[in-house]
């Protein structure tokens, strides 16, 4: 088994833990604050990791360059904007369809990987990506009353367009992070990923902190009071991001993000076995397609 596969699965599991932690914080903090902690409290861990890899593993710290910093700015801002659009969808009563379209990120990452990095995804991997995307979209709309007429009408709805825009920005960010890590040229995938994470998360922390001080400085006080659970979110969030960046240094972003759809399975398992929630046939079909797509991806990717 190629190394990027277990790294991606571990990152998806850690991201699910981060989401659980953020959901808990959402009851204490606002949306901006709950989003900020993944960056602000993850930054010290990311910087410490680079220092440890340099001090104890003896890996040289890569020299930053203009190409690297350009990719960081594109990826960092793209991810923040994508997250903002996704949260904005929650303000609509029927946001499930839009959220489903935001999950087209792997397919869009394949397009942007070709345009921005000149990377071509093999036909078998493209098929696997398509299968996982359809599976996730089925789960997202499983509890919405849908018909063929409504489905086609939803293609040009406001929610769908916002969701597609979110997926586009997530796709751009994924490709940008791969471009940033590869532009360092060494010494190895782990140090390149760690450096990319440290610089990205520091940049995003500064941007979001400045935004909060401008819009709602009281949120900073609430974050400081919730520092214990925020540390957990920061740690697992930084660990998940290290996994994503490591995997995307080793493999194309589109393929990594397709395998990352396994996070939906983890989320579903939590809903069924922990929260005892009922699942319907459409959701089961969606899960089956995700698993089928992942198996196909592992075989041909």
Q: What is the mean pLDDT of residues 108-113?
A: 90
Higher pLDDT pick, 161 / 123 = 123
Q: Give which of 110, 114, 92 is closest to 161, Cα–Cα.
A: 92
User: ω into residue 74 within 30 of 0, thus cis?
Assistant: no
Tokens matching residue 234: 């920061």
Question: How far apart, in whole angstroms, are the C-alpha atoms of residue 255 and residue 272?
Answer: 28
- Give the pLDDT of residue 194: 98
Q: What is the mean pLDDT of residues 146-162?
A: 63
Question: How far apart, in whole angstroms, are the C-alpha atoms of residue 260 and residue 274?
Answer: 22
Q: What are phi and psi of 93, to 5 degrees?
A: -65, -45
Overall number of domains in the chain: 1
* Structural domain that includes position 191: 4-300
* Cβ atoms 199, 72 nearer than 8 A: yes
Q: What band does 277 get if pLDDT is binned at 50, 70 and 90?
A: low
Q: What is the mean pLDDT of residues 289-293?
A: 88
Is the pLDDT score of 289 beyond 70? yes
Is the pLDDT score of 75 beyond 70? yes
Digit-coded pLDDT (tens) for 89-105 = 766 655 555 556 677 78
Q: Is the pTM of this model over 0.85?
A: yes
């Amino acid at each position: 088994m190629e190394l990027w596969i277990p790294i991606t699965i571990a990152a998806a599991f850690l991201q699910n833990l981060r989401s659980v932690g953020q959901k808990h914080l959402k009851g204490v903090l606002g949306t901006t604050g709950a989003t900020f902690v993944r960056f602000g409290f993850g930054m010290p861990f990311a910087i410490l990791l680079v220092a440890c890899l340099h001090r104890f593993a003896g890996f040289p710290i890569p020299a930053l360059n203009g190409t690297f910093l350009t990719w960081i700015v594109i990826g960092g801002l793209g991810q923040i904007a994508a997250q903002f659009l996704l949260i904005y969808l929650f303000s609509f009563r029927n946001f499930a369809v839009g959220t489903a379209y935001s999950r087209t990120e792997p397919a869009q990452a394949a397009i942007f990987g070709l345009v921005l990095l000149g990377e071509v995804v093999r036909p078998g991997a493209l098929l696997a990506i398509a299968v996982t995307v359809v599976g996730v979209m089925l789960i997202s709309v499983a509890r919405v009353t849908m018909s063929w007429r409504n489905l086609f009408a939803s293609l040009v709805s406001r929610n769908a367009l916002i969701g597609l825009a979110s997926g586009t920005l997530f796709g751009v960010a994924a490709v940008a992070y791969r471009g940033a890590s590869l532009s360092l040229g060494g010494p190895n995938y782990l140090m390149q990923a760690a450096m990319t994470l440290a610089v990205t998360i520091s940049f995003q922390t500064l941007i979001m902190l400045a935004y909060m001080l401008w819009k709602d400085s009281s949120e900073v006080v609430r974050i400081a009071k919730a520092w214990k659970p925020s540390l957990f979110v920061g740690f697992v969030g930084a660990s998940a991001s290290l996994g994503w960046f490591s995997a995307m240094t080793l493999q194309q972003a589109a393929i990594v993000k397709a395998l990352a759809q396994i996070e939906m399975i983890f989320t579903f398992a939590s809903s069924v076995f922990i929260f005892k929630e009922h699942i319907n046939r459409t959701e089961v079909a969606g899960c089956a397609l995700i698993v089928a797509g992942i198996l196909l991806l592992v075989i041909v990717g």
